[in-house]
Structure 1
């Protein structure tokens, strides 16, 4: 993996984490936290969405959407666990 790929990976994670934080109100983790939430969200979505029969296209926009969906799922799970 080249440095360009790592930079894109971090940017997509940051944007996805930030968007998920806006959608799931009450969560703001700063830049580093947003990157982590976005990257973990991308892994979650990469695991769940194909099993549900949901496929997304290629490209950076779809990568952001994909990671955002996973990050939203992650933040909702965190919210449920904190309430319990």
Structure 2
């Protein structure tokens, strides 16, 4: 499938995971395939299909102090 897409100029990405099983992303199982949903989201964002994923809490640069809904980057804490 990936080769056919490439030959037709259709953007594609092929990932091989050494283990994982069925139902990727349905629950975290401590397998390499646990990262599949995020990889798919990133691929879609790179093509403008989805907005860029927000940085994970702790990954965002600090500075504004404003709440996220107002353009800030503070993580919500319980």
**TM category, shorter:** under 0.3
Higher helix share: 1
TM-score when scaled to structure 2? 0.27
Max radius of gyration: which structure?
A: 2
Q: Considering Cα pairs closer than 8 Å and 6+ residues apart, tell me whether 1 or 2 has the greater RCO.
A: 1
